[in-house]
């Protein structure tokens, strides 16, 4: 898995992911996301539409990034989560931890405080 693109939408960083999010790719992605947060991007939307696979290492990176944004007073929203991934979030009860929206635009609105979550 790779971070395919990072774009700004107001004060929100929209991170588009693609490929596999597994034990091989997780350390690099974690480093990039934590660097982004440390650099002041505490409002993140992670677009998972192009993700092919996720394992526990990938889930761990998402959880640690959520904790980091929360510690800094920000927020992290997941958008366009593929059906296979949504079922993994449900099985692991991470749907109680993450807010998931259908579209990136909805996620940006929630992170900005304009949506109803």
Identify whether the C-beta of residue 9 lies closer than 8 Å to the C-beta of residue 39: no
Can you name the residues that pair with 100 across neighbouring β-strands?
78
pLDDT of residue 117: 44
pLDDT digits (tens, 9 = 90+) for 19-48: 999 999 999 999 999 999 999 999 999 999
Alpha carbons within 13 A on the beta-carbon side of 2: 2
Taking the C-alpha atoms of residue 43 and residue 76, their distance in angstroms, rounded to an integer, is: 6
Which CATH architecture is the domain 2-111 placed in?
2-Layer Sandwich (3.30)
Average model confidence (pLDDT) across the chain: 91
What CA–CA distance (Å, rounded) separates 33 from 50? 17
| Tens of pLDDT, residues 6-21 | 999 989 999 999 999 9
- Rounded to two decimals, what is the model's pTM? 0.91
pLDDT digits (tens, 9 = 90+) for 92-112: 999 899 888 889 999 999 998
- Is residue 79 within 8 Å of 104, Cβ to Cβ? yes
Query: Packing angle between helix 26-38 and helix 56-71, nearest 10 degrees?
Result: 10
């Amino acid at each position: 898995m790779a971070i395919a693109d990072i774009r700004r939408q107001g004060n929100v960083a929209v991170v588009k992911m693609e490929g596999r999010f597994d034990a091989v790719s997780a350390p690099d992605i974690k480093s990039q996301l934590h660097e982004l947060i440390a650099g002041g991007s505490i409002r993140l939307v992670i677009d998972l539409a192009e993700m092919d696979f996720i394992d526990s290492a990938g889930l761990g990176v998402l959880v640690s990034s959520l904790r980091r944004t929360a510690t800094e007073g920000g927020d992290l929203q997941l958008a366009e989560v593929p059906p296979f991934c949504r079922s993994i979030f449900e099985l692991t009860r991470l749907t109680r931890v993450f807010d998931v929206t259908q579209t990136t635009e909805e996620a940006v609105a929630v992170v900005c405080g304009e949506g109803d979550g």
